[in-house]
Chains A and B, each alone.
Chain A
Amino acid sequence: MNLFMLAPELSLFCLAILVIVLDLFVERKGLLQTVSFVGLIVPVGLFVLLLIGRQEPADTSTFNGMLLVDSFSLFFKFLLVIIAALVVMFSTEYVAKFPRFQGEYYGLILFSTAGMMLMASSGELISIYIALELTSLSLYALVCFLKDNKSTEAGLKYLLLGSLSSAVLLYGMALVFGITGTTNLAGIAKAIAAEGTLRNPALLMGMTLLVAGFGFKIASVPFQMWVPDVYEGAPTPITGFLSVASKAAGFAVVLRVFYTAFGSPDWVVSNWSTLFAILGAVSMTFGNIVALTQTNIKRMLAYSSIAHAGYIMVGLAAVGLAGSSGVIFYLAGYAMTNLGAFIAIVAISERINSDQINDYAGMAKRSPLVALGLAVALLSLTGIPPTAGFVGKLYVFNAAVQNGLLWVVIIAVLNTVVSAYYYLRVVRVMYLAEPASAEKVGASGTVNAALFLATAAVVVIGFVPAPLISAAEAAARVFRP
């Protein structure tokens, strides 16, 4: 038992409590944001210490294998902290909508980030479930923070469907535990291997229920019903947070569970691989086609996020190092891209008080930099080079082709064509339509800085993907020694 390995999460908890307590005493609420942001440097520093202090061969497990602090979980924790930092940064102006609860707002973001970090490092079903609940409960509260009709409805929907999915997940975990006699992922793998090629339908049933439970988190069809309403109703920075952090943590758990616990023998793998391939193909097709008709940009991005869950699942289906590192790379690129899009939306919507795509008309004239940032993000979501989105798609599709999943790849690339239509429509409205008024739309310095960081990341990853690919491969190597 090594508490130091848990230090980043613990520091986040302390930070969250500090922010909430501080809220009681300070008048200038802006300070809370500063404290949250600066405080996030602590876990980053701890990651560095953890990385430096590691001996080879590293002993990565702690609490009897409940938590694994390996390069995989460190990669995701690092990504999640960056996401949280950006979300805190671009909440600057938005929090004015709920002046009384700013401490809780930042506190809950930090709590859910800690939960997601635990999700990424869980090595066992129970701790996965607890981490998931920590994340979800914080998010339920965050989604209804605006306290208007839409936000409350979104929060309630999220809570009800989320609880349902947790129940399904628990059921799946119970089945797996019942058959294998352990909740430890490595132990499950051993038990399945020991059982030989016995094809136990209950095991498949448990696996399927796990997919259903996680499918809710990663917003895959057919567990996507909550996505559009919640994305539309939630405070926009939280929508951004949900769309990337929740998805990243969800996929981290999925990778961990399926690559470790169900990583062999072949018949198990081929079962879930096919399942993910089909779900992926359906998700992206559904998401893209429904997104075509959306007029609200947050709803559009909601369907786009369903579609992207589909692309990422193509990587999951392509079992092996290329597939898993592809998923990890794609998630990192997607996180920066989608955050960039949401930062731009916060900046614009705050001033024009609308999420309607048509109201973005002529935004290139009214706010050239923000419009450019949004355009870059949308191009990256489409997958046009040189952006992170392009390299990510290419990498994932390449992995899928190598595993003989050409049919999914062809569906996926055709989907990109469909998606180009609705992404570029926003670009077109911003650059070609006449602005409704000549009034400039400017964002505050912090929001602009966050937008710049996200956009720069998208472009830099697009041009120089090699370091991030190496990091993703190092993270993915955890599964196949």
Chain B
Amino acid sequence: MESIPFLSLILFFPVLGAVFIAFLPKDNARAIKICAAVFTFVSVALAILLFIIFDRSAAGAQFVERMSWIPQIDVEYYLGVDGLNLPLVLLTALLGFLAVFISWHVKVRPKEYFICLLLLETSILGVFASLDLFLFFLFWEVELFPMYLLISIWGTPPPLGRKEYSATKYVLYTIFGSALMLAGILTLYFSSGTFDMLAMGQGAIVARLIPLPAIFFLLFTAYAIKLPMFPQHTRLPDAQTDAPTAVSVMLAGVLIKMGGYGIIRICVSIFPEVARQYAPLLIALGVISVIYGAAVTLRQTDLKRLIAYSSVSHMGYVLLGVFALSTASLTGASLQMFSHGIVTGLLFAMVGLVYEKTHVRHLERLGGLARQMPIVAVVFSIAGLAALGLPGTIGFAAEFLTFIGAFTSDAVVGIRLWTILGVTGIVVTAGYTLWMLQRTFYTEPREQFNGVGDATWLERFPIFVLVGVIMLTGIYPALLTEVFQMGIGPIVRHLGF
């Protein structure tokens, strides 16, 4: 068992699929889609297998693959999963697989589309699975190119969207962030003499060039842009709104989790002292993100933009949970990342369906769709309720754990006040979610939508799978929290509480 390079297989099956697709004739859209589905399925099947056979009693990283790559600067090809990144790898593989079905109707240049989609999946998987900081950065950068093409070619064209503007903005923001991250990584390498993320987390880093907080914030800025955290959030609603449906799913579902993951894995675990020192500031920014994001969401009239803005608010919970610095709150924050991935992924898929059927995204021109498309209405409602944290869904488990963890944490002075402020975000979330659902589905039916059909079986497949995951993990969250805690444990011990 040990000798099979599981992670490499999970990582590179999508690339293999992309190479395979490159050799298929470009008119044969059906073969291209089936090929993409098969290769991503292998990936997700292996990821599930990995999740099952993951040893829940052992400490440290498992399924490690390690070999020297650029010996002159100590760069290694070093993959491995522990409790923190395993669920995220699983999430990415799952959404990557479902994204193929969500984009089944892509008609413009399907060959290039699926190649980009598969490359995107690999790069995100790579970010989560790398334990070498250099490799992590490499995958982080590679993600840009498919993303740029996916948004700018298959995105929403004018007048409804501004695909090229959004794509360029996305790329420039991200490169700006990664430029700072590169400076941070190099100083970190210079200070520690290794790119091994776990080893950096174990030993104390001695500042050699610039003070530790400076390195911390070079790295943190990159992750905060990705997350996105107020005030660096403006690229995200643009990109998520103008991206094609499946890409919005990937973007909201897993791509922005790279930011949260980076904060936990690198900022908090390598710089515990700095994290403690600046926790009050970062918690404040998190709570501002929550409230500001929710308030802005309330004002949106475009269905897709509304969901996009809600991410800003939900990622604020992650920041709150992370910098409350207790085991419970960090686990809650990780679970919140997973939960948001599934739930918002589903929401974007549903928006895509509604738009595809009705060609309307504007809330005022939608209405009463529950009659014409009952299944879409039900699934959309489930997703909406999960987003606002209804008990029985994963959204509840994640938010509850985050708030409990934050409230009881004694790491930060005044954390209780911030937590209470953060909780008010939920009220606003409930407001805009229910309002959105009501205006889209539950008003008087409109004549103009009478011919509009419900989701077909092909479209039902991915959304039913996601609903299944929401329910399963909502009822039995320990499935995930148990694993997350294994990864969080060592980090919190290092924090010294």
Contacts and interface: CB of A to CB of B under 8 A. Distances in A.
B183 A428 contact: no
B301 to A, nearest CB: 29
Given A379-B145, A406-B209, A417 B73 contact: no
A43 B497 CA distance: 68
A469 interface: yes
A470 B152 contact: no
Contacts of A421: 168, 172
Nearest to B189: A398
B183 A404 contact: no
A465 B190 contact: no
A406 B187 contact: yes
A469 B152 contact: no
A417 B176 contact: yes
B142 interface: yes
Interface string B152-192: 11000000000010001001100110011011001101100
A397 B182 CA distance: 9
Contacts of B176: 414, 417
A116 to B, nearest CB: 27
A397 B164 contact: no
A410 B182 CA distance: 9
B183 A385 contact: no
B475 interface: no
A287 B138 CA distance: 26
Contacts of A384: 141-142, 144-145
Contact of A424 (B148, B179, B190, B210): B148
Interface residues of A, number: 31
A431 B179 contact: no
Contacts of A402: 190
B171 A424 contact: yes
Contacts of A442: none
A88 B94 CA distance: 51
Given A406-B209, A432-B152, A466-B71, A390 B141 contact: yes
A413 B179 CA distance: 5
A469 B69 CA distance: 12
Interface string A416-432: 11001100100010011
Contacts of B73: 394-395, 398, 469
A96 B175 CA distance: 42
A23 interface: no
Interface string B34-75: 000000000000000000000000000000000001111100
A404 B180 CA distance: 16
A385 B187 contact: no
A466 B138 contact: no
B183 A406 contact: yes
A413 B183 contact: yes
A473 interface: yes
A65 to B, nearest CB: 31
B404 interface: no
B16 interface: no
A386 interface: yes
Interface string A139-177: 000000000000000000000000000000000000000
A17 interface: no
A414 B187 CA distance: 16
A278 interface: no
B72 A432 contact: no
Interface string A450-477: 0000000000000001100110010000
A420 to B, nearest CB: 5
Given A384-B144, A431-B153, A394 B182 contact: yes
Which DSSP category, helix, strand, loop or mixed, fits chain A's interface?
helix
Nearest to A404: B209
Contact of A473 (B72, B134, B175): B72
A409 B186 contact: yes
Interface in B51-109: 69-73
Given A431-B149, A466-B71, A469-B70, A413 B180 contact: yes
A467 to B, nearest CB: 10
A466 B171 contact: no
A347 to B, nearest CB: 22
A246 B189 CA distance: 34
A466 B72 CA distance: 7
Contacts of B210: 406
Interface string A168-208: 00000000000000000000000000000000000000000
A402 B134 CA distance: 16
Nearest to A390: B141
A275 interface: no
A449 interface: no
B212 to A, nearest CB: 14
A420 B209 contact: no
A466 B209 contact: no
A275 B209 CA distance: 21
A401 interface: yes
A385 B141 contact: yes
Contacts of B179: 413-414, 416-417
Given A385-B141, A424-B171, A469 B183 contact: no
B186 A397 contact: yes
A326 to B, nearest CB: 10
A122 B182 CA distance: 37
Interface in B172-225: 172, 175-176, 179-180, 182-183, 186-187, 189-190, 209-210
B96 to A, nearest CB: 20
Contacts of A466: 69-72
A409 B185 CA distance: 12
A362 B144 CA distance: 21
A426 to B, nearest CB: 13
Given A406-B209, A432-B153, A401 B187 contact: yes
Interface in B123-153: 134, 138, 141-142, 144-145, 148-149, 152-153
A440 B145 CA distance: 26
A385 B210 CA distance: 27
Contacts of A386: 138, 142
Given A406-B187, A409-B183, A417-B176, 5 more contacts: A384-B144, A384-B145, A406-B209, A424-B168, A424-B171
18 contacts: A384-B145, A394-B182, A395-B73, A397-B182, A398-B186, A398-B190, A401-B183, A406-B183, A409-B183, A413-B183, A417-B172, A417-B175, A420-B171, A424-B171, A432-B153, A466-B69, A466-B70, A469-B70
Interface of A: 379, 384-386, 390-391, 394-395, 397-398, 401-402, 404, 406, 409-410, 413-414, 416-417, 420-421, 424, 428, 431-432, 465-466, 469-470, 473
